[in-house]
Structure 1
Amino acid sequence: MQRERLMRWASLASVATAFSLILAKLVAWLFTGSVSVLASLVDSMLDAMASLVNLLAVRYSLKPADEDHQFGHGKAESLAALVQTAFICGSAIFLIFHAIDDLRSRSEIGNEQVGVWVILFSIALTAALVLFQGYVVRHTGSVTIKADALHYRMDLLTNASVLAALVLSWLGYKSMDAWVAIGIALYMLYGVREIVMESFDLLMDRQLPPEQLEEIETLVMSVGGVQGFHELRTRRSGTMPIIQLDLEMDGSMTLEEAHDIAERVMILIKKRFPGADVTIHQDPV
């Protein structure tokens, strides 16, 4: 399927980008000793670990339903997203303490030009990946790819901040390097909130958004022969919507007629929500 292929390519691109950035930033840190470059390096190392987790999670979540997992393996995506947030929080706390220590010791950095060129390369590579991930998220709705894309969007701001810190240090404002590192760490902590809430909602089987519930109601009531419905229950397993409802129809119609109406309702819902698992119970009015 196109959706599965896009998710796999996005995961592979993320891993390749993360390891490329690690090598580049390691060189920059060794040449400059900059704590803000170190902050960006640690962030990229965590991105690499998170991307590997994503790659495994996407492969597992795309496995078809089996006897033990009859609704598929989609929740593996949410678990992977929570693992990513743990990585981010741990690295942010480490960076804050390291930057504070750097401020106390009044460390100096050098070879700022090398750092500037490496960070410019990092910004270009990261921007290309974010554009591709955005395309994949729009066409798949994957929460794992969305979480990974959030990391790299944060990286763009992080790299821009590091670039500013290196330039300011070059101009003589040495303490800005550590302050930028602290700002990056705080921004990393702020950015995980959305991932945590969305992953928690998926794991706790939160219903679909109100606007999607209204769409389902409109689709159901647009089919001739439907007199009403009740007990609408919805949730998601990864990218797969799960929709269950009781359909109300004239009790005097034949079983075949009732089945045909329910089938038309199911086709409409699946057309609007591709890949959805739809269960319809038929009730006589």
Structure 2
Amino acid sequence: MDNYKLGFKVSVITIIINVVLSAIKIFAGIIGKSNAMLADGVHTLSDVLTTFVVLLGLKVSSKEADENHPYGHEKYEPIFAKLLSILLLLTGVYIGYESVKVLISGNIKTPGLIALVAALVSIVSKEAMYWYTVKTAKKIKSLALEADAWHHRSDVLSSIGTFVGVLGARMGVKVLDPIAGIVVSIFVVKVGVELYLKATRELVDEAADDETIEKIKSLISSVKGVEEIKDLKTRVFGNKIFVDIEIAVNGSISVKEGHDIAEEVHDIIENSIESVKHCMVHVEPKKTQD
């Protein structure tokens, strides 16, 4: 199954679960007279929107290179991931705002047992969705899908806060409800900021991580005929890596022999490192000492 189909399958499953969960939580919030649960239900509903954005991002970024996009469409994915991170930020701010508003007004009602049960159901369901989504995101190296996974995790935090607030309110400490909401909102905003910065780094041609660079150097050095690595540049392009290499070979060998060495370097890197989309190898004769 290709990356898009895997991502699509995960996204459709999470959309269905989120629609059911949000309906349960909003119903429980209204019937159980819980502002926290109502806000939590709206938060889950926002996950449906973000997952649709993920689907769009996966669809566009999986397109093959064309005349206008000769390097491919991978950079569209961090753009969509940025949109998701902004939605995550706004969700966190909204939860915090609503909690502060309730805290200031002092109009805190004692919620019903149904709100407590709904919070427990949400915690278990959303944590399972987080692990299911993040596992697939890492497998297909999808930043947008990873952002969506963290949106599920933010719902877990939100539901934990809701559970604590509802439980506290039912035990007579009503103020715990809005306070828990504020704490949860801070966590959600933090995740949103981190994802935004991560997506930004993928849009500015940042170099690959040190582990990948060391692996590339090791592979180049393993090729017979390579005398020296004169230059090595990498740039992250969405979830792929472009590599530019300059190697030195014995100056007395033929052009064909030099070409064969360069081709072997090219092939071993592209075949050994899955995230490398393209490798360019330039050959120079090794300078000899006079």
Name the TM-score, length of structure 1 as normaliser: 0.93
Do 1:34 and 1:177's aligned partners in 2 also have CA atoms closer than 8 Å?
no
Q: Which residue of 2 aligns with 1:196?
A: 196
* 1:244-259 superposed matches below 5 A: 244-259=244-259
Pair 1:283 & 2:284 matched: yes
SS in 1 for 2:246: strand
Identify which range, 62-71 or 43-52, moves more after superposition.
43-52
1:151 is matched by which residue type in structure 2?
H
**Cα distance in 1, alignment partners of residues 229 and 178 from structure 2:** 60
Q: Deviation above 4 Å: which 4+ runs of structure 1?
A: none
Do 1:36 and 1:180's aligned partners in 2 also have CA atoms closer than 8 Å?
no
Pair 1:32 & 2:32 matched: yes
**Cα distance in 1, alignment partners of residues 110 and 156 from structure 2:** 23
Q: Which residue of 2 aligns with 1:82?
A: 82
Shift in alpha-carbon separation, 1:71–1:11, aligned structure 2, 3 A: farther
Report the Cα offset of residue 39 of structure 1: 3.1
Structure 1 residues not aligned, in runs of 5+: none
Pair 1:224 & 2:262 matched: no
Do 2:161 and 2:177's aligned partners in 1 also have CA atoms closer than 8 Å?
no
Structure 2 residues not aligned, in runs of 5+: none
Q: Which residue of 1 aligns with 2:266?
A: 266
Report the Cα offset of residue 34 of structure 1: 2.0
Q: Which residue of 2 aligns with 1:208?
A: 208
Pair 1:108 & 2:108 matched: yes
Report the Cα offset of residue 237 of structure 1: 1.9
**Cα distance in 2, alignment partners of residues 257 and 4 from structure 1:** 40
SS in 1 for 2:227: strand
Report the Cα offset of residue 207 of structure 1: 0.3
CA distances 1:80-138 after superposition (whole Å, capped 9, x unpaired): 11111211222222332322221232223345211122222222221221221232133
Computed over aligned residues only, the root mean square deviation of the Cα atoms, in angstroms, reads: 1.8
**Cα distance in 2, alignment partners of residues 2 and 267 from structure 1:** 22
* 1:159-170 superposed matches below 5 A: 159-170=159-170
Q: Which residue of 2 aligns with 1:126?
A: 126
1:31 is matched by which residue type in structure 2?
I
Shift in alpha-carbon separation, 1:12–1:195, aligned structure 2, 3 A: same
Do 1:72 and 1:237's aligned partners in 2 also have CA atoms closer than 8 Å?
no
Do 2:130 and 2:153's aligned partners in 1 also have CA atoms closer than 8 Å?
yes
1:19 is matched by which residue type in structure 2?
V
Shift in alpha-carbon separation, 1:11–1:244, aligned structure 2, 3 A: farther
SS in 2 for 1:226: coil
Shift in alpha-carbon separation, 1:275–1:176, aligned structure 2, 3 A: closer
Report the Cα offset of residue 275 of structure 1: 5.0
Q: Which residue of 1 aligns with 2:183?
A: 183
SS in 1 for 2:241: strand
Name the TM-score, length of structure 2 as normaliser: 0.91
